[in-house]
Structure 1
């Protein structure tokens, strides 16, 4: 009988606060015990409150705090944290999300059951938010489902990331490339593209993570992006660049405008109206995507 899996839980943290402690506590409350928590900490110097949280975390033998420079980007912090992992299975977890108590247990069962080891495993995610007055949690009614098999997951990369990043698990022995540090805010999408060839991607219908809806994502977006929202602008630009790279693999020279049109019509309506080609509509995007899917099938069969 296969042995149980030991997991390293990687949590990148910008600032230590109450949400981080709650998030870490949700991991410690897991119904599976074989894990280590690796916190990539960027907040130096720390306030008095943060110092108290830091000392609190240091008391638990399951927790390892890695001091990262404040100037480091998220992908850089993730890579430093990955270097601290002692085992091949690494679980991503965001610093303000909540881990489902059976996530690790279900992961262990999935890994032991499979003949071929996956490179990346993705589980389901569910949204929640806190009432600022009562601190009561409001949880969405549905779990966000995703594609399950290798082909469908990789095909989805034509227009969007194929996994929910807070609910992924990485096999460090199979992973050819770590996070690209030039793709801040889109490092996960780039990771999936970089490791696609010769790998096995697996989606699981098991419960993974409760994803916190942050205040800035609760605000209804207008047709034009706020000038101060540079993070989202950068993310959209990187997503377009990654899409263009992905489509070039199947022999289509995708322009930035086409990438915007496809994302707008097939993925999300949050991009500004000015990004959408005036001559395009939803049917055009679907037809274009269907053509790409046929070409991707040929690419997939030749690269596996």
Structure 2
């Protein structure tokens, strides 16, 4: 059987309230050459029954896993067969042309390894969320925050084979960075030389609600985010020093002041961000 062009990976955990709306938006895509891998992450609210009872589409593959969100993601990634992998969350909504536009973009831009999009936020919050689209600016933007919106992402499947196997599952997402595992993955991939970008189009409706993990686990997510930013800042500072050694003393002094508590970490981030925007080729200051 011919492998699909795209594998959509969607973990599901107690998502019965919005699950049908999410699946319907996938099955209504203008692009049809895909498989939908749904990983039941130990749901107890009837989510699994909604899938098995209401959906008979042969493109859907349902996998059961014990409750472990990171490993459910990794299982879905490992089990994918497509040339590309698209991420999706069980309470979000794909706009009809999402897969079509992302597939053609990736095919026409083989130098790009991972691509996100802009998205419309709805529910507890309304608005259009945008990230920068230039790869070099994304590398700098990641100093301050995650440069891609996770449920909008499509990436080359060949990337996941670069991660170690544990129990026959590629460890693409790292359990040590739970609640910000995507941010850590983007920074790790940039360190390895992969190129990231964003399409300047709204292709997903992202639901903000009180029940989301990121709202319930704010403190842990903030601590993990700080760890990611600290590690990535070290990488960027080293890169700056190699590109222009004149900045070495300035960066070294800034780190010393931060360690002594005379400069806040967020101020150190801003200093490095401004310097990186001027030194790293192709980037520019982009607040």
* Fold conserved between structures, TM > 0.5: yes
2:29/2:97 contact within 8 Å kept: yes
- Write the distance in 1 (CA, Å) between the matches of 2:211 and 2:80: 32
Corresponding residue number in structure 1 for 2:142 = 157
1:274 aligned partner: none
Runs of 5+ in structure 1 lacking a partner?
131-138, 218-228, 260-276
What is the root-mean-square deviation in Å for CA atoms of aligned residues?
Answer: 3.1
Aligned to 2:16: 17
Q: What is the rounded CA distance, in whole Å, between the counterparts of 1:26 and 1:90 in structure 2?
A: 17
The answer for the alignment partner of 1:86 in structure 2 is 81
Normalised TM-score (structure 1): 0.73
Q: Distance in 1 between matches of 2:157 and 2:270?
A: 36
**SS of alignment partner, residue 32 of structure 1:** coil
2:103 — aligned with what?
108
Instruction: Please report the TM-score for the alignment, with normalisation by the length of structure 2.
Output: 0.77
Give 1:236's aligned residue.
222
TM alignment of 1:172-251, pairs within 5 A: 172-175=157-160, 176-177=162-163, 178-196=172-190, 197-215=192-210, 231-249=217-235, 250-251=237-238
CA contact under 8 A between 1:6 and 1:89: conserved in structure 2?
Answer: yes
Partner of 1:289: 273
Going from structure 1 to structure 2, the CA distance change for 1:34 and 1:230 (only over 3 Å counts) comes to closer
3-state SS of 1:95 partner: coil
1:197-248, Cα deviation, whole Å (9 max, x unpaired): 321112111222100010368xxxxxxxxxxx76111111111111110111
Q: Partner of 1:182: helix, strand, or coil? A: helix
Displacement after TM superposition at 1:52 (Å): 3.2
The answer for unaligned runs of 5 or more in structure 2 is: 164-171, 239-250
Q: Give the length in aligned residue pairs.
A: 252
Cα contact 2:84–2:155 (8 A) shared by 1: yes
Structure ranking higher in helix proportion: 2
CA distance 1:280–1:27, shift in 2 (3 Å): same
- In structure 2, distance between residues paired with 1:189 and 1:284: 19
Distance 1:285 1:42 in 2: 36
Query: Structure 1 residues 18, 76: CA separation in 2 closer, same or farther (over 3 Å shift)?
Result: same
The question of whether the paired residues in 1 share the 8 Å contact of 2:94 and 2:203 is answered with yes
- Is 1:118 equivalent to 2:112 in the alignment? yes
Q: CA deviation at 1:31?
A: 1.3
